[in-house]
Amino acid sequence: MKYRLLTVFSLLIPFLSIAQEKGLDEKVNDAFMPFATWWEGFVLTTIPIGGYNMPIVLILLIAGATFFTIAFKFPNITKFSLAINTVRGKYDELDHHSVEKTELNTVDGDLPHTIKDESKEGEVSHFQALATAVSGTVGLGNIAGVAVAIALGGPGATFWMIVCGLIGMSTKFVECTLGVKYRDVGPDGTVYGGPMYYLSKGLKERGFKGLGKVLAVIFAILCVGASFGGGNAFQSNQAAVQLTTMLNLEGGAIGVIIGVILAILVGIVIIGGIKKIASVTEKIVPFMAGVYVLASLVIIFANIKYIGDAFGMIFAGAFTPEAGLGGIVGVIIVGFQRAAFSNEAGAGSAAIAHSAVKTKYPASEGVVALLEPFIDTVVICTMTALVIIFFNMDAGAFDYGNAVGSTVLLSESGAYVGGVDLTSMAYDSVIPGFRYVLTIAIILFAFSTMISWSYYGLQSWKFLFGRGRTADIVYKVLFLLFVVVGAAATLDAVIKFSDAMILALVFPNMIGLLFLFPKVREEMDKYLTDIKNFVKNK
């Protein structure tokens, strides 16, 4: 896959040079920025708490995640080994093992009869579902998002990103369990799942049919928007930025041209549906994560003598921030906002991918899903943060808190950089030439995230407009259009829109989770009981 991407871009470099003179990128950005700014302000509406203005959506996100962590007795710790065993297939036999159970036969006058209960629903394995969902969360939020967080909030923002990731594991467990429990399965075996379904069906069970319908529709609309923003425009934007920086291309219609190329490549893949996406991401995710993690470890070990100082800065900055963001609360807001964008715990989006798993135990996929925020935020985001902090400790490249928009002022050149450019400089300072490898990784991150999010958005679109072919085509055309918009617009415009779209999902989703979490407890007890009996009788 990576060779095909590089071949396409190398063939089109001459055309990119010609496109510099057209100025189309600026026109796209000028049209997009006003809406992005308005939408960000609307979603991040604040209320005064203790002298600080706290976004309502973040209060809901933090309060919900903390509640689930306590209510389920810290599943992020106590269920971690169970999650590992489940994803590696240790309990797969449970799903294929026939278990006799008695049900009423309405055809024969409600007489009880015995049936064989065996998992037949679903399209992908636990690992494939995790890979698809991880490809939607592990991406440029880990590379560019961490750089933005540190630029705005200093090293201390990393601490709050980690905290958000840890408690977010509990939220992810709840929403993905519900995603499987309330999914729909079509006549052809195709799975339709996610918050749209557990909000409408689950709340109906609890006697809140009207509320469930309203929340499901709101979520579906917002999820379509999020697929255009955080799952699409942000990805194409940062891929375009990295390519233009590496190839030294500026202005004109460079972003539009790169966006069109990406749109063509993404368009080819998303026609295949979830099975095709799962087969692609199953191969791409380990490769791109492996390259990035390996490079991160090389740099961390090269600076191992500074590791204590770096973590000291992270911890101290969390409570005595260097950045001018209104003190500790400002840094907390930045940390949680960036973590929420990166791992999407509380947004409910990953539950759409997890709903397609082959299992008869909803809780089995819930425990698998809690690994996502750990992989995404606790591990990969922390690695990125350490590399950037080491870079600044060694070179004194910038001052924390001197951010303009999402960029920082470089001490040596006087230029403003941010996002993938800042991360790329940090990696390249220790591994010369790594920016070329990072460019490949960034394209793969962007590509896999876009194809995964196209599935999330399409499922929401189907919920709103039906499951016909025409509706599918309309959505896919709109999705591919936003690939181009994202590549052409500036990082500030794209991140405003993308952040707000991802966070907006928290409102309908978290309300539903707080109503439905008792169902998760029932499913978890059932799964643990069957595991215990299965192991005992094996």
Tokens linked to 95: 């799903």
Helix (H) or strand (E) holding 240: helix 234-247
Residue 357: count of CB within 10 angstroms of its CB? 32
With a cut of 80, say whether residue 130 has pLDDT above it.
no
With a cut of 90, say whether residue 67 has pLDDT above it.
yes
What are the backbone angles phi and psi of residue 347, rounded to the nearest 5°? -80, -25
pLDDT > 70 fraction of the chain, expressed in percent and rounded: 77
Mean of pLDDT values over 416-431: 79
pLDDT > 90 fraction of the chain, expressed in percent and rounded: 18
Domain that holds residue 62: 42-91+121-397+409-526
Encode pLDDT of 10-35 as tens digits.
544 444 444 444 477 778 778 888 88
Asked if the structure places residue 285 within a domain, the reply is yes
- Comparing 257 with 6, the larger pLDDT belongs to 257
Mean of pLDDT values over 115-144: 61
CB-based contacts of 160, cutoff 8 Å, min separation 6? 153, 318, 331, 332, 334, 335, 336, 339
| Torsion of the alpha carbons at 206, 55, 422 and 413, rounded to the nearest 10 | 170
- The rounded distance, in Å, linking the Cα atoms of 435 and 403 is 23
pTM flag (> 0.85)? no
Tokens linked to 330: 């400002």
Asked if the structure places residue 333 within a domain, the reply is yes
With a cut of 60, say whether residue 310 has pLDDT above it.
yes
Mean of pLDDT values over 160-175: 91
Residue 187: count of CB within 10 angstroms of its CB? 5
Residues in a beta bridge with 55: 46
Asked if the structure places residue 165 within a domain, the reply is yes
Encode pLDDT of 275-295 as tens digits.
666 566 567 666 777 788 888
The whole-number pLDDT of residue 281 equals: 59
pLDDT-derived band at 241, boundaries 50, 70, 90 = confident
Asked if the structure places residue 311 within a domain, the reply is yes
How many domains does the structure of the chain reveal? 1
Identify the weakest region by mean pLDDT among 48-62, 144-158, 315-329.
315-329
- The rounded distance, in Å, linking the Cα atoms of 426 and 168 is 28
Asked if the structure places residue 11 within a domain, the reply is no
The whole-number pLDDT of residue 316 equals: 85
Identify the weakest region by mean pLDDT among 89-98, 168-177, 209-218, 288-297.
89-98
Quick one: DSSP state of residue 394?
Answer: H
With a cut of 50, say whether residue 491 has pLDDT above it.
yes
Radius of gyration from C-alpha coordinates of the chain: 23
For residue 172, how far is the Cα from the chain centroid?
11
The whole-number pLDDT of residue 468 equals: 80
pLDDT-derived band at 154, boundaries 50, 70, 90 = confident
With a cut of 50, say whether residue 432 has pLDDT above it.
yes
Asked if the structure places residue 30 within a domain, the reply is no
Residue 279: count of CB within 10 angstroms of its CB? 15
With a cut of 60, say whether residue 489 has pLDDT above it.
yes
With a cut of 60, say whether residue 236 has pLDDT above it.
yes
Asked if the structure places residue 5 within a domain, the reply is no
Average pLDDT for the chain: 79
Which CATH number belongs to the domain containing residue 126 in this structure?
1.20.1740.10
| Strand 99-105 versus strand 52-55 pairing type | unpaired
- Produce one character per residue of 11-40: b if its CB has 16 or more CB atoms within 10 Å, e if not: eeeeebeebbeeebbbebbeebbeebeebb
- Produce one character per residue of 298-334: b if its CB has 16 or more CB atoms within 10 Å, e if not: ebbeebeebeeebbebbeebbeebbbebeebbbbbbb
**Inter-residue contact 268 to 444 (CB < 8 Å):** no
Mean of pLDDT values over 178-207: 87
Mean of pLDDT values over 68-94: 87
Taken as a whole, the chain contains a residue count of: 538
Asked if the structure places residue 509 within a domain, the reply is yes
